[in-house]
Amino acid sequence: MTACRLFLIAWMAVAAAPAWAADTAPPAAAAPSATALPTPAQILEVPAPLLALLHERVIDPGYSRERRLQRLVEMIFDEHGLHLAYDPDATHTITETWQTRRANCLSFTLLFVTLANLAGIDAHVQEVAQVVSWYQASGVIYSVGHVNAGIVLDGRSGTVDLDHSVLYDPLGPQRITRQRTLAHFYNNRGADHMATGDTGGARAYFRAALGMAPDFVAAWNNLGVLDARIGALDQARRDYETALRLQPRHGASLSNASALYRRMGDTHQAGLLASRLARVQRNDPFAQYMFGAQAEQRRDYAAAVRFYRRAVRLYETAHPFHFALARSYFLAGDARRASIEMQRARDLAGENGDALRSRYQAKLDSLQRWRQRGTNAN
């Protein structure tokens, strides 16, 4: 299980606001499919046993809001409550989370925000546009976003996150609507169906996501991938054009559209989009970090250093970037610069918890001992 804890950051005075909008309409009609999509009400329905547990452990004892918040987190994670475990593939309804005791960041956030609101705690869903996370499966490279819960308590705001080690993009978590939250759910489910080859189910879910949020770029991009896979190239082109009209610097759509035009024989347009993508990536610290990781995997440590250094210049306070740069410096034979970057990673990690800071300190101590042995040998 991923280490989970209450992660409160950037407490500040704010004006309270309602957490959820009024009931959302059901998803827009999609193409015929055997897939039965859960409605918004079904996604957010709290099963009776879970509601009873919430009353018993959190609501009925009459605790203060701050104590209710603490009790809610305990109820979700301790062995006498939900005993929730992290599962990156578990895009679940609240009922499914209750039944399986497994959740990814989206399922956890849906669960937490809904239960917190029932307990009288002002909570809402927040979106992080980009995090340091990519993975590959079934020949597809996935760029992973992140959601978490924002809370307002006694005039202060904070964040509750399933994974406190996630590196957010420089903008940090941004509050989103209920409709956009549900769009994330349907889009995730669509990606799952696409990965298993269920094109009809995938399309139904992507269309449902766009029914919730017509400007949801990730779903337009995924529709493009789906249409390209089945050979509907003109429709895929229109999907990507829509995505890029909504978000001209969307890296995944630029990359996919460029590959599509090349496949269609339009090398000129493919080149234009590839050039746009390169400009976007050059100023994207996450892309530079990814390129550094790829260079490190092929043991080109000089190139890894160049990419990681640019990532650090673009996002100077990101401790994982300094740690990666330290590692590449060390592997490239520059122990002095490795020590400097490791110290910087340690110092920046301080606000992310003692365990992470201790981890960096241990690596720094090991590196300094290695350097000392080298000095004594000379």
Nearest of 145, 369, 115 to residue 250 by alpha carbon: 145
pLDDT in tens, 264-322: 999 999 999 999 999 999 999 988 998 999 999 999 999 999 999 999 999 998 888 99
3-state DSSP call for residue 350? helix
Q: For residue 13, is pLDDT > 50?
A: no
**Residue 378 has what pLDDT?**
46
Average pLDDT over residues 349-372: 68
The first and second tokens of residue 144, run together, are 């992973």
Min mean pLDDT across 91-105, 109-123, 219-233, 353-367 is at: 353-367
Per-residue pLDDT reduced to its tens digit, 194-220: 999 999 999 999 999 999 999 999 999
What is the distance between the alpha carbons of residues 93 and 110, in angstroms, rounded to a whole number?
8
Show the tokens assigned to 285: 């610290």
For the cut 60, the answer to whether the pLDDT of residue 103 exceeds it is: yes
Q: How confident is the model at residue 173 (pLDDT cuts 50, 70, 90)?
A: confident
DSSP 329-343: HHHTT-HHHHHHHHH
* Phi, psi dihedrals of residue 320, rounded to the nearest 5°: -65, -30
Model pLDDT for residues 15-66, shown as the tens digit of each residue = 222 233 333 333 433 444 456 899 999 999 999 999 999 999 999 999 999 9
Helix (H) or strand (E) holding 12, with range, is none
Provide the β-strand partners of residue 152.
Answer: 122, 157
Residue pair 322/348 in contact by the 8 Å Cβ criterion: yes
Q: How confident is the model at residue 142 (pLDDT cuts 50, 70, 90)?
A: very low
Which range has highest mean pLDDT (113-127, 163-177, 334-348)? 113-127
Give the mean pLDDT of the chain: 83
Alpha helices (H) in the chain, listed in sequence order: 40-44, 48-54, 65-77, 94-100, 105-118, 178-195, 199-212, 217-229, 233-246, 251-263, 267-282, 285-297, 301-314, 319-331, 335-348, 354-377
- Give the pLDDT confidence score for residue 359 in this predicted structure: 72
How many C-beta neighbours within 10 Å does residue 212 have?
Answer: 25
The β-bridge partners of 134 are 143
Q: So what's the pLDDT on residue 65?
A: 92
- Asked whether the CA dihedral 321, 322, 323, 328 is positive or negative, the reply is positive
Q: How distant, in Å, are the alpha carbons of 2, 136, 269 from that of 103?
A: 11, 20, 41
| 156 touches 16 (CB < 8 A) | no
